[in-house]
Every structure is written in structure tokens, then in C-alpha cells.
Chains A and B, each alone.
Chain A
Amino acid sequence: MRTQLQQVSTRFSITLIDELAPERDDLLFVQVEKDQAVPFLTWLQELAGYTHLVFFTAVDFIEEGYFQLTYMVHDYSTHQDLAVLLKLDREDPVVESIHHLWPHAATYQQEMYEMYGIEFPGSPRLHDDFVLEGWDDLPPMRRDFDTRQYSEDTYFPRGGRKSRDTAEYMKEQLYPGEAETW
């Protein structure tokens, strides 16, 4: 597979990332540019034997300013997985849909729109609610959405709960007057 990928690496401007799964011979990571993703995936599906879209999801690397899209495809004849990674600018999260290649990709895309705010123009029912009915906050799987804050603002904490820090408590009890506390 590796050689096959190397042959098309310039055609689809892909780079193999070996360090991600060095121990695995059945899993390969490859990075693709945004405009080459769909052609590359089409080639994988139609010509390279990667007929199974295992899943399609996003990872938010907010510190570096991008979403990593992961198209995981599988070749049933060799039982090989190929993870196609795409770095998508967080500021402009729009990318071509792949529902025409695998119809169920539409569900992944619908979910990713809802959870990360990633646009896949043309994907069926993309903007319909998937899991979150009536959600009007930040797409919640983005790293900057603070679940704890949200729950504190939205729900009532149970009253009467108070915990003590071991070291602080011992200090209060045992050496409130000593140097450290002044």
C-alpha cells in the first residue's frame, strides 16, 4: 500500500505520516490538502480498494488553529486502514462533502456541522438538528465550549456540598500560627 501511495503522492499532494502509528502495519496515516481530499478519496474508493468508510470525524486543535478531519477508510481485501487527515482552518471551516461517495457520510457531516460548525456545502439535511434540538450556543465539541461552565449556568448545583483540601485543612488545624501562614 505504501508504495502505491508514494506513487500518487505528488498527484494528490499527500504526505505519509509514519510517526503516528509506527507499530501498526495495518494502519497508515496520510495527510492531504483540502482541494485534493475528494479526488484522493474518490481514487481510494474506486481504484485503490478502500471501499469502506469506517468513520469520518473531526478533532479540534484549537491551539494550532485548525480542525483535523479524519476520513478513515478500509480495504477489505488487505484489511488495511488508511486514515486520511486534513487540516482545516478553524476560521474558515468549509470543505467539500463526500456524501456522493458514501451516502452515510451525510450523517457524519450533519453531526460535524452541529458539533464543530464545519460546513459541507451540498450535504443533505446538513443544517437540520441531529442530536441537539434547539441548540443556540457554540458548537459544543469545539474545545472553547466549556461544558462545566455551561452546566453551572444552566442547571442548579445540589446544595450542601462542601469539600476540604487535605493540606489546607491540616494547616488550619495544626499550624495556623506558624511562619507559612503569615
Chain B
Amino acid sequence: MTSDPKERLALPRHAALKHRHHGSVLVLPEHAIRLAGSGAEILALCDGERDRRAVHEALAARYPDTDELAVEVDRFLTEMIEMGGLEAVSPGTAAAVSEPK
């Protein structure tokens, strides 16, 4: 899969982020995905407005000294798309709303 830096990503319409003592989980209608590390934080940035580049920039600002950050984030985003946990939004589509904490 190629990663287009202008691709805008959002949670699928029926997804929700939940937080528990063991970590955060992305919940889909018939499926739940445990999010390791900063997974939930990255997903929260995928609001349908930011494109991939903006997601990278936001994270790079927060974690300035992390090597390989961009590569890992890209891998995570691509994996999430494959699992149905993220969708590319076409321009003009309303942003997905995730549930409040």
C-alpha cells in the first residue's frame, strides 16, 4: 500500500475509542482492537481533517527526539486501515466523531 501524505484519515463512522485499566481499545461493530503504546493518541489525531502529513507533524512536535517515528506511525496507520480501524475520507465528507472519553 502506498501512503499518500495528503490522504485524510478518520475512524469509521461506527467506531468508538474506549479506555480501560489494561489500555485503550478501538471498538468496531463486531470487533475490538487493543491499541498498544500511543495507538489511541495517534487515532485521536485522525479526525478526518488532518492528512497523513499533519498527523506526522503533530506527533513529531510532541515527541521530538524519537527516531524512526515517521516509519512506525506510517506502519501503524497502514495496519489500522487494513484492519478496518481507519478509513480514508474523500474531500467533502464530514469528519467522523469519536465518542468522548
Are chains A and B native binding partners rather than an unrelated pairing?
Answer: no
Residues of B within 8 A of A (CB): none
